[in-house]
């Protein structure tokens, strides 16, 4: 029993040795003690002179959090006040800029609205008279414009009649018969048109524009008819002043037709549609006689006739060259005429100028055909 008591006393002594001394004690106050400390300091209590209490208050987390919250609130108020002041300044600057720069421009660009007359009597009567004068002036302007349009139309018609007389001398009035002693029939003298240099120049410009229009149509459509109209100008002896212009437009059309490729290189004859009911599957199975019929049939598309000219290169039919020459001279499509001439040149091993029909006819006659 004595040994057990001695062991217990030793353990108690060890426990006492582990306790901290009073000099190293740690203060653990509740949050309410933070509020009581300043009150005691203000009342002049003796605890205010305690260095340990002063040290604890200076470094307590509650006091530092209070100070931080106070500073944060102050910064928030300052930021709000600064933002309000800056916003008011920006608003004032924008208002001043709008009044100085934008408002005058808007007032200048806005349509002027007529002021509503507030007065009656004499001013109202003057406004009515002014409106009547404006309406009368508007009617006069309409009449003047109508007369101008009528004058322009009559001038255009007279110039067209003069141009028709120059192009067709048969329409010109016959010269007056010489005076003789024999009594004749009384009648009014025929009026001969007198053309001023300005009118003659205007007529020439109009005819030159017509030639350009023919050339443009021939290039755009590939038809022979506009080119034939240009050739008529070249052959007309009364249009000598337009021969050079007609020659230039003719060369422009011929060069365009010569170098522009309109046909599709991969195009093939639709033999199943052209020769229905016949046992023809490919182009090589078509006989030369059938090809010549297709070439002379102007109702067929020009692509078909162009392809026929290519297929006639190896034709052994005796009338092939004659049919090709006929296509060069008469086919309504200039593209078909071009390919017909190319096929003829490869067959006879001779070159000609493009659409030089007189040279082709002369050579054909020299061959005894």
CA distance 294 to 300: 7
Stretch 92-119: mean pLDDT: 71
pLDDT given for residue 277 in this prediction = 76
Would you kindly state where each structural domain of the chain is located, as residue ranges? Answer: 197-259, 271-366
Check: CB of residue 214 under 8 Å from CB of residue 249.
yes
pLDDT given for residue 343 in this prediction: 92
Q: Highest-confidence range of 30-39, 74-83, 169-178, 186-195, by mean pLDDT?
A: 74-83
Asked whether residue 42 carries a pLDDT value surpassing 50, the answer given is no
Q: What is the pTM of this model?
A: 0.48
- Give the H or E element holding residue 38: helix 31-43
43-81 pLDDT per residue, tens: 444 444 444 444 444 456 667 777 788 888 888 889 999
β-sheet bridge partners, residue 333 = 223
Secondary structure class of 15 (helix, strand, coil): helix
* pLDDT, greater one: 138 or 187: 138
pLDDT tens digits for range 264-299? 888 888 888 888 877 778 888 888 888 899 898 889
Q: How far is CA 70 from CA 55, 66, 83, 323, in A?
A: 22, 6, 20, 114
CB 236: neighbour CB atoms within 10 A? 13
For a pLDDT cut of 70, what percent of the chain falls above it? 70
Cβ(333)–Cβ(355) below 8 Å? no
| pLDDT exceeds cutoff 80 at 130 | yes
- Kindly report the number of other CB atoms within 10 A of residue 172's CB atom: 13
Q: Give mean pLDDT, residues 7-35.
A: 48
Residues in the chain, overall count: 369
Please tell me the predicted confidence (pLDDT) of residue 174: 55
The predicted structure's pLDDT at residue 81: 92
């Amino acid at each position: 029993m004595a040994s057990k008591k001695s062991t217990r006393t030793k353990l108690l002594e060890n426990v006492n040795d582990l306790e901290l001394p009073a000099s190293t004690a740690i203060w653990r106050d509740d949050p309410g003690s933070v509020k009581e400390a300043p009150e005691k300091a203000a009342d002049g209590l003796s605890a205010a002179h305690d260095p340990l209490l002063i040290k604890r208050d200076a470094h307590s987390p509650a006091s530092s959090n209070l100070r931080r919250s106070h500073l944060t609130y102050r910064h928030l108020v300052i930021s709000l006040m600064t933002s309000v002041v800056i916003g008011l300044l920006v608003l004032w600057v924008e208002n001043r800029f709008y009044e100085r720069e934008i408002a005058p421009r808007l007032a200048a660009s806005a349509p002027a609205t007529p002021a509503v007359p507030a007065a009656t009597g004499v001013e109202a009567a003057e406004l009515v008279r002014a409106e009547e004068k404006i309406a009368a002036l508007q009617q006069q302007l309409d009449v003047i414009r109508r007369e101008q349009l009528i004058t322009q139309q009559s001038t255009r018609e007279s110039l067209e009649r003069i141009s028709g007389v120059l192009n067709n001398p048969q329409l010109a009035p016959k010269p007056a018969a010489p005076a003789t002693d024999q009594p004749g029939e009384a009648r009014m003298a025929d009026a001969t048109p007198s053309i001023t240099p300005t009118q003659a120049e205007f007529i020439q410009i109009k005819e030159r524009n017509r030639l350009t229009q023919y050339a443009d149509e021939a290039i755009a459509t590939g038809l022979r008819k506009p080119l034939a109209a240009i050739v008529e100008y070249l052959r007309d002896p009364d249009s000598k002043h337009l021969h050079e212009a007609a020659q230039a437009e003719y060369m422009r059309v011929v060069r365009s037709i010569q170098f522009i490729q309109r046909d599709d290189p991969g195009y093939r004859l639709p033999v199943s549609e052209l020769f229905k009911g016949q046992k023809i599957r490919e182009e090589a199975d078509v006989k030369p006689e059938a090809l010549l019929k297709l070439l002379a049939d102007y109702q067929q598309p020009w692509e078909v006739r162009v392809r026929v000219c290519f297929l006639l290169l190896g034709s052994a039919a005796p009338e092939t060259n004659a049919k090709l020459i006929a296509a060069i001279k008469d086919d309504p499509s200039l593209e078909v005429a071009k390919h017909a001439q190319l096929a003829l040149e490869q067959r006879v091993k001779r070159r000609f100028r493009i659409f030089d029909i007189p040279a082709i006819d002369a050579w054909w006659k020299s061959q005894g055909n």
